[in-house]
């Protein structure tokens, strides 16, 4: 019987290597997400500032993120930086920069709409109690936004995990790259390796994102008030 | 910035943009069809099919297009199923886009209050007529914003087509960087190309969203 390509997964530490590769993409997504939340909060608050100039800048920023494919942004940062400023970014750093740039805009926009959705009397009661503007934000508004934002933020995280698969194209050694290496190494011994390796990577992404989106769905139901 | 270089390679970008746009429109058109059919199946709660549709949606929404393309293009041929690059691109985009369109359509369909179909039925319309004249027009106008966002999202997703050896915009830019080391020029044109394609669509969508924002229907 012909060799079933699935064996290639269990040869040596191939499966472990794939998992480590997946961890690289996950790490990029998690770090970017961690950075995006505080920055997004700031941008979201800025977007509600009455000054026209600040609003305009935020608007342009949002449009750029909305229109440019993430891969283009990755190329811009990865190749552009090294050419123009002589800064040789590692692929991973470039990826974190781009995904933070993207995530900040998304979270900022969500926060902006969440801020609008908070009833006015919440602010007014805060002021009425003699809190300063800063205190109102920290103790009254942000905790409420946090609850509304949690499911949406998790959804964004799954999108970010999916999009981090692009980093293989700027030379980061992550799960797809490791997969390619394994396929190349076993080209003669198991020619059907590609099917299994890419299939497994496909499922790995599915499992991770599925879990996160289920958690988000559950939270959305539970946090309703 | 070397403008002569830019002018010399404009035709290359135009070709690439044409390819990107052709594939994107084919993929989007098919995903609208898939999305519509799937949303109908879920809306009508067709027994076995809705289970299948649900599985498809979860699978498609929770995996990146890049990996889907890798699997289609490099994995499937090992099973004896060879699909051309163009085929992979369109199948991949439809697979990904179908579920997003489905979500948009279904949200639209479900936002129409039941009282609307009941009123339709009490006027003596058949089920099909109620759907065609009462539910659908209202559903479509509600789902237009999500729909537009999906179209922009899908066009952006086409930027990964270069992995299945298609000479799209990303591919051309990468090539020019690789061959001539004209990084700035190649990237500049890449950004401009995407701006030319996506900015009008984005502006049009914003306009359309404002147009279709009617007062609530019978809420």
Quote the minimal CA–CA distance from B204 to chain A in Å: 13
Per cent of chain B over pLDDT 90 is: 26
Secondary structure E strands in chain B: none
A183 in a structural domain: yes
Q: In a 3-state reduction of DSSP, which class is residue A46?
A: helix
pLDDT in tens, B56-82: 999 998 999 998 998 888 888 878 888
What is the spatial distance between Cα A175 and Cα B208, in angstroms, rounded to a whole number? Answer: 41
Q: Which residues of A touch B (CB under 8 A)?
A: 5, 63, 66-72, 75-76, 79-80, 82-84, 158, 162-163, 165-166, 168-169, 176, 183, 191-199, 201-202, 205-206, 209-210, 213
According to DSSP, residue A48 is labeled T
Does position A182 have pLDDT exceeding 90, yes or no? Answer: no
Distances in whole angstroms, Cα of residue A152 to Cα of each of A106, A149, A156, A164, A213: 10, 5, 6, 18, 10
The most distant pair of C-alpha atoms in chain A lies apart, rounded to whole Å, by 80
At A3, is the pLDDT very low, low, confident or very high (cuts 50, 70, 90)?
low
Question: At B52, is the pLDDT very low, low, confident or very high (cuts 50, 70, 90)?
Answer: very high
Please indicate, yes or no, if residue B111 is contained in any of the structural domains. Answer: yes
User: Any idea what the Cα angle at residue B90 is, between residues B88 and B95, rounded to 5°?
Assistant: 90
Assess if residue B217 is contained within a domain.
no
Assess B64–A contact: CB distance below 8 Å, yes or no. yes
> Which tokens is B153 given?
């999202």
Residue in the block written with tokens 């995996």: B63
CATH number, position A184: 1.10.3720.10
**Structural domain tally of chain A?**
1
**How many domains, in total, are found in chain B?**
1
Residue B219 lies in a domain: no
Question: What confidence category does residue B213 fall into, taking pLDDT thresholds of 50, 70 and 90?
Answer: low
pLDDT at residue B110 in the model: 87
> In terms of Cα–Cα distance, which of B32, B177, A98 is closest to B169?
B177
What CATH number is given to the structural domain containing B38? 1.10.3720.10
Distance of CA A130 to the CA centre of its chain: 39
| Residue B124 domain-assigned (yes or no) | yes
pLDDT in tens, A155-178: 888 888 888 888 888 888 888 888
Whether A225 is covered by a domain: the verdict is no
Kindly state the DSSP code that residue A167 receives in the 8-state scheme: G
Whole-angstrom Cα Rg for chain A: 22
Query: In this complex, do A72 and B159 lie within 8 Å of one another by their Cβ atoms?
Result: yes
What average pLDDT score do residues A120-149 get?
84
**Between residues A224 and A216, the one the model is more confident about:** A216
Q: What is the interface pTM, i.e. ipTM, of the complex?
A: 0.82
Q: Domain containing A89: what range?
A: 5-220
Partner A contacted by B153 (CB < 8 A) = no
* Residue of A69, A75, A195 lying closest to B156 (CB–CB): A69
Using one digit for the tens of pLDDT, what is the confidence trace for B142-192?
888 888 889 999 998 898 888 888 888 888 888 888 888 878 888 888 899
Q: Which domain holds residue B114?
A: 3-212
Give the C-alpha distances (Å, rounded to integers) separating A102 from A27, A98, A184, B196.
16, 6, 34, 20
Coil, strand or helix at A129: coil
Residue B177: inside a domain, yes or no?
A: yes
Residue at A103 is within a domain: yes
Residues A188-198: tens digit of each pLDDT: 777 777 888 88
Helix, strand, coil percentages, rounded to 5, for chain B: 85, 0, 15
Contact of A200 with A9, CB cutoff 8 Å: yes
A15 within a domain of the structure (yes/no): yes
Number of helices and strands in chain A (H, E): 11, 0
């Amino acid at each position: 019987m012909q060799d079933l390509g699935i064996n290639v997964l269990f040869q040596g530490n191939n499966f472990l290597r794939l998992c480590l590769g997946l961890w690289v993409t996950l790490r990029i997504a998690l770090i970017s997400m961690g950075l995006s939340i505080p920055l997004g909060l700031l941008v979201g608050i800025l977007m509600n500032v009455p000054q026209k100039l600040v609003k305009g800048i935020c608007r342009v920023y949002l449009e750029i993120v909305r229109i440019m494919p993430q891969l283009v942004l990755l190329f811009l940062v990865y190749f552009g930086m090294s050419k123009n400023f002589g800064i040789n970014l590692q692929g991973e750093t470039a990826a974190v920069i781009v995904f933070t740039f993207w995530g900040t805009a998304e979270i900022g926009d969500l926060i902006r709409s969440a801020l609008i959705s908070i009833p006015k009397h919440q602010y007014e009661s805060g002021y009425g109690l003699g809190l300063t503007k800063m205190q109102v934000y920290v103790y009254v508004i942000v905790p409420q936004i946090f609850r509304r934002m949690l499911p949406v933020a998790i959804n964004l995280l799954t999108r970010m995990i999916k999009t981090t698969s692009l980093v293989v194209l700027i030379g980061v050694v992550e799960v797809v790259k490791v997969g390619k290496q394994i396929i190349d190494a076993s080209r003669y011994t198991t020619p059907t390796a590609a099917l299994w390796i890419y299939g497994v990577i496909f499922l790995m992404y599915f499992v991770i994102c599925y879990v996160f989106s289920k958690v988000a769905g559950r939270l959305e139901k539970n946090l309703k008030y | 910035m070397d403008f002569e270089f830019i002018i010399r390679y404009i035709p290359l970008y135009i070709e690439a943009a044409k390819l990107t746009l052709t594939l994107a429109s084919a993929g989007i058109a098919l995903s609208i069809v898939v999305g519509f059919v799937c949303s109908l199946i879920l809306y009508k709660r067709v027994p076995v099919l809705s289970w299948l549709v649900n599985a498809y949606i979860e699978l498609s929404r929770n995996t990146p297009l890049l990996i889907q393309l890798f699997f289609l293009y490099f994995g499937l041929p090992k099973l004896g199923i060879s699909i051309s690059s163009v085929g992979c691109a369109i199948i991949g985009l439809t697979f990904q886009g179908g579920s997003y369109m489905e979500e948009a359509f279904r949200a639209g369909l479900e936002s129409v209050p039941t009282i609307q179909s009941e009123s339709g039925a009490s006027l003596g319309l058949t089920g099909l007529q109620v759907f065609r004249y009462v539910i659908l027009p209202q559903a479509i106008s509600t789902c237009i914003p999500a729909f537009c966002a999906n179209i922009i999202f899908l066009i952006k997703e086409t930027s990964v087509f270069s992995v299945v050896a298609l000479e799209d915009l990303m591919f051309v830019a990468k090539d020019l960087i690789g061959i001539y080391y004209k990084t700035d020029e190649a990237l500049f044109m890449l950004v401009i190309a995407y701006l030319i394609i996506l900015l009008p669509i984005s502006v049009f969508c914003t306009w359309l969203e404002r147009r279709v924002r009617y007062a609530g229907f019978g809420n």
